[in-house]
Structure 1
Amino acid sequence: MICNLGSLVALDLSYNNLSGMLLDCSGNLSFSLSILSLRRNNFHGNIPQICKKGSKLKMIDFSQNQLQGWIPRSLVNCTMLEILVLGNNQINDYFPSWLRVLPKLGVLILRYNQLQGAIGKPKSNFVFPNLHIVDFSYSSLTGKNRPMYMQANTSFDLPGYIWKSQYAYSMTFTNRGIEIAYERIPYIFIAMDLSSNKFEGEIPELMGNLKGIQVLNLSNNLLTSSIPSSLEKLIALEALDLSQNKLSGKISPQLTQLTFFAFFNVYNNHLIRPIPHGNQFDTF
């Protein structure tokens, strides 16, 4: 009967004692259904191919059942899907990286299943573009977590024993006008120092594409023209040193909007008034 309800918008049969296998015809309902919840029942067997092209499903919750097999690949047709909850079942599958194509998927919960294999590196910049809640706990997924600091993993064989160690990289880098010795280099530290060279001409507008950069030092060169407006896009920028160049014009007031900005040096240029005020500039 349910398969014939062509105008059904929401189907919630959760928290019952229903059993058996899920209906193969449920794919036909995806053209009208937005909500499909069968949470906490006793359904078993494979999950049917519930999504067809043109599906309107926004939420699927089959958690806390006894479902087995693979995650149905037809889910890629559910382009409006926002929530997918399949936790606490007996699903035996690999990490579903193919779900990355779903543009609106925000919640993905697959906990307490038999997921296996590795979570690989993304092949695209647009991987799970809207995902903000993910739960793969109590599975058998593998992979290596990147350490907080850059290091080399070293090892050599001894008779009857393999010796392993981590060698932390170190460096000396000028940050906020001070030469600092970093005994360990944090992975999250992103910086560029091109100071004390003979660079001429304008600062390239492309500098505004360095969205993750925290420290930028172009001091002691032969740079001319004005400070490019594209630097306003460097939302992670903490320190900017443009001192000892031949820059002219005004300092853009938009730089005051950079919320992490803490060090700004334009000493010995040809800049003119006014000096911007407000926001971050008032904290210097």
Structure 2
Amino acid sequence: MITLSQLLNNTASPWNITTQRNPCLWEGVHCNSSSVTNLSLSGFGLVTSDFLPVVCKIGSLQALDVSNNQLSSIPNEFITSCGGIHGLKLLNFSKNSLSGKIGLELDQLDSLKSLHLSRNHFDGSIPTNLGKSKALEQLDLSVNNFQGSIPEQLADYGNLTHIDLSFNNLSGFIPGRIGELSKLEVLILSSNNLNGGIPANFSKLATLSRFAANQNHFSGSILVNSQISENFRS
């Protein structure tokens, strides 16, 4: 089996492969027994993403965090390679310089449960293809330049517990189908151009503990049940 050190040799990795050949002892590398499961490369000063498709050849990988770096692009081969990893559950690309639109390729990440793309320069529509198994639980697209409406297809991801779409350029209404997300705990829509009213079926979201929608153009009243009101006060 090919090793992580062989994969990342001659790439932009922050590790000294010559002096420490056991990747499980490298900073930011987490292993289960001898298999690499998590790569936490946040704040490593990475400026090139050429190593990403190579990382996706690690078949045991479950989480990849490359947040707080200076990455400006995601190679086309990245999603294709990572889509073949059945156990990959978390991707964190927050706080980089990524731009452009997010296409259908994310649907190849079949087991994805957590996607963090906040604080970049993405634009276009909110993506709705976020894993064929619809296992997604956390979606953070805040502080970007996403436009258009909130897609009602997000309600197809019934395991969602956390949605943050704040600080974008979204407009239109909040889809009533969002109220069908029975596991939703956090919904943050602040600082957009949304209008209309808060869907009445939000009053049935007994799990919702945080709902932030300030700095928009909403009208009408908010209908909540006693449980949600108590959560808001806390």
Bucket of the pairwise TM-score, normalised by the shorter protein? 0.5 to 0.7
Partner of 1:237: none
Partner of 2:167: 88
User: Aligned partners of 2:139 and 2:123: how far apart in 1?
Assistant: 16
Please give the per-residue CA displacement for 1:11-70, whole angstroms capped at 9, x wherever unaligned. 1000011111113221232x2111100000011111122246631111000000000011
In the alignment, is residue 134 of structure 1 matched against residue 207 of structure 2? no
Matches within 5 A, 1:67-82: 67-82=146-161
Compare CA radii of gyration and give the structure with the larger one: 1
Higher helix share: 2
What are structure 2's unaligned runs of at least 5 residues?
Answer: 1-76, 227-234
- Identical columns (%): 32
Equivalent residue letter for 2:112? L
In the alignment, is residue 2 of structure 1 matched against residue 78 of structure 2? yes
User: Aligned partners of 2:103 and 2:118: how far apart in 1?
Assistant: 15
SS of 1:25 mapped into structure 2? helix
Compute the RMSD of aligned alpha carbons.
2.2
Structure with more contact order per residue of length (Cα contacts < 8 Å, sep ≥ 6): 2
Equivalent residue letter for 2:149? W
| 8 A Cα contact 2:108 2:132, kept in partner | no
| 8 A Cα contact 2:138 2:160, kept in partner | yes
In the alignment, is residue 57 of structure 1 matched against residue 136 of structure 2? yes
1:130 positional shift: 1.0
1:145 positional shift: 6.4
User: Aligned partners of 1:17 and 1:114: how far apart in 2?
Assistant: 24
| 8 A Cα contact 1:110 1:136, kept in partner | yes
Partner of 1:14: 94
Give the alignment's TM-score, normalised by structure 2.
0.57
| 8 A Cα contact 2:191 2:213, kept in partner | yes
1:134 positional shift: 0.4
Matches within 5 A, 1:213-252: none
Higher strand share: 1
User: Aligned partners of 2:105 and 2:210: how far apart in 1?
Assistant: 30
Figure out how many residues of one structure are paired with residues of the other and give that number: 144
User: Aligned partners of 1:135 and 1:95: how far apart in 2?
Assistant: 13
Partner of 1:110: 189
User: Aligned partners of 1:133 and 1:40: how far apart in 2?
Assistant: 21
What are structure 1's unaligned runs of at least 5 residues?
Answer: 147-187, 189-284
Change (3 A) 1:18 1:95: same
